[in-house]
Amino acid sequence: MRTVENNPADNDSVDNNALDNNAVDNNSGDNSPAHDDAADAVNTGAPSDSTTGDGKADGAVAANPARPATEVIALPVSFHISKLAYFTIPLTLLVAVILAGASVVWLGWTIIVPVLLLLWIRRVRTDVTDTGLHVVHTLGEKDLPWDRIRGLQFPKWSSVRAVLDDGSRVRLPAVTFRDLPLLSAASDGRIPDPYAK
């Protein structure tokens, strides 16, 4: 296990020195916000399929096993849903109580919804380990070894997906574009950091 100083900051937030998360242009070297989501790509020569079924290109980051990491941190590193999501639980509880009060017989079951929401927020995550990514979804878990990951895909209106060597895609819960610097460091450079100069 690699154990070099790790800033105990919350994994939900990564400070990128106010760089725009929506545009990174590695060809010109400038970080101009003049690109749309289809241009949010870092390609290092590894094969990466960055098109969806309708032929529209999505942002993608190709995995790079040869790129050195700029920072070495202790593993595992977990990416969880933002703590702001916990604010939805009291609101959901309030609605459930109102509904249950209207008809305990028919709507009393709604009281369990805030509990299920709490369990879901705490459960879903993406863990970075020495061997690869450990993905925990609502009803299942999946291990993705580093040698199977060909890159990351950032669909415009969907969550981040890992593109595997067979062309399949696996959703990575709680990982966003702004998490790429931490993800790159935790993966020992296997996932490139588009913010690195």
CA angle 14, 16, 18 (to 5 degrees): 125
Per-residue pLDDT tens digits for 150-192: 999 988 888 899 999 999 999 999 999 899 999 999 998 898 8
pTM (2 d.p.)? 0.62
Kindly state whether residues 94 and 71 are assigned to the same domain: no
Kindly state whether residues 158 and 104 are assigned to the same domain: no
Per-residue pLDDT tens digits for 108-147: 999 999 999 999 999 999 999 999 999 999 999 999 999 9
Residue 6, domain member (yes or no): yes
Encoded tokens for 140: 């299942």
Kindly state whether residues 77 and 140 are assigned to the same domain: yes
Residue 154, domain member (yes or no): yes
- Residue 89: give the domain boundaries: 82-123
Per-residue pLDDT tens digits for 48-83: 444 444 444 455 556 655 444 445 688 899 999 999
Kindly state whether residues 67 and 156 are assigned to the same domain: yes
